[in-house]
Amino acid sequence: MINEREVQMLRCVLLLFALFNLGQLGAAEISPLADKPRWPALERYQETITRDDFTRLLQDVYATRGYDELIQINDDSARIVQDAAAQKFFTLRFANETPHRLPAQYWRRIDKLRRASAKRPLSGLNVTLDPGHLGGHWAKMEERWFQVDEKPPVEEGELTWRVAKILAPKLRTLGAEVSFARRHDRPTTPLRPDDFREIARQVLAKTGVNEPRPNYEADDLDKDKSIRWQSELLFYRQSEIRYRAKKVNMKLQPDLVLCLHFNAEGWGDPKNPTLIDRNHFHVLVNGSYLPDEIAHDDERYEMIRRLLSRVYEEELPLADAMAATFAQETGLPPYQYTTDTVAKVGTSGYVYTRNLLATRVFRCPVIYFEPYVMNSTEGFARIEAGDYDGTREFNGVQRKSIFREYAQAVTDGLTDYCRSVRVEGGVSPNP
142: which residues sit within 8 A by CB, 6+ positions away?
A: 133, 134, 135, 156, 157, 236
Shortest Å, Cβ 393 to Zn ion: 28
- Bridge-partner residues for 179, per DSSP? 128
The shares of helix, strand and coil residues in the chain, as percent rounded to the nearest 5, are 40, 15, 45
- Listed in sequence order, the residues at least 6 apart from 122 whose beta carbon sits closer than 8 Å to its beta carbon are 116, 171, 174, 175, 176, 414, 415, 418
Nearer to Zn ion by C-beta: 61 or 159? 159
Give the three-class secondary structure for 303.
Answer: helix
132 or 413: CB nearest Zn ion = 132
Closer to Zn ion at the Cβ: 132 or 254?
132
CB of 261: closest distance to Zn ion in angstroms?
A: 3
Output 132 or 187, the one with its CB closest to Zn ion: 132
Q: How far is the CB of 45 from Zn ion (least distance, A)?
A: 32
DSSP code at position 67: -
Rounded to an integer, what distance in angstroms lies between the CA atom of residue 315 and that of residue 175?
21
Select the residue whose beta carbon is closest to Zn ion and give its number: 261
Rounded to the nearest whole angstrom, what is the least distance from the CB of residue 94 to Zn ion in the complex?
A: 38
Reduced to 3 states (helix: H, G, I; strand: E, B; else coil), residue 215 is: coil
Min separation Cβ 133 and Zn ion, Å:
6
The answer to whether the CB of 394 falls within 8 A of the CB of 378 is yes
Dihedral pair phi/psi, residue 11, rounded to 5°: -65, -40
Report the residue number, 37 or 132, with the smaller CB distance to Zn ion: 132
Closest contact distance (angstroms) between CB of 278 and Zn ion is 17
Identify the burial level of 268 via C-beta atoms within 10 angstroms of its C-beta, where 0-12 means exposed, 13-18 middle and 19 or more buried.
exposed
Q: Which is nearer to Zn ion, 261 or 399 (CB)?
A: 261
* Nearest approach, Cβ of residue 90 and Zn ion (Å): 34
Q: How wide is the angle at C-alpha 83 spanned by C-alphas 80 and 85, nearest 5°?
A: 130
> Smaller CB distance to Zn ion: residue 358 or 418?
358
Closest approach of Zn ion to the CB of residue 142, in Å: 9
Phi and psi angles of residue 349, each rounded to the nearest 5 degrees, phi first: 90, 0
Nearer to Zn ion, 132 or 371 (CB): 132
- Interface ranges with Zn ion (CB under 5 A): 132, 261
Looking at the Cβ atoms of 163 and 166, the one nearer to Zn ion is: 163
269 exposed, middle or buried (CB, 10 Å; 0-12, 13-18, 19+)?
exposed
Distance of CA 102 to the CA centre of its chain: 25
Q: What is the smallest separation between the CB atom of 284 and Zn ion, expressed in angstroms?
A: 11
Contact 245, 359 (CB under 8 A): no
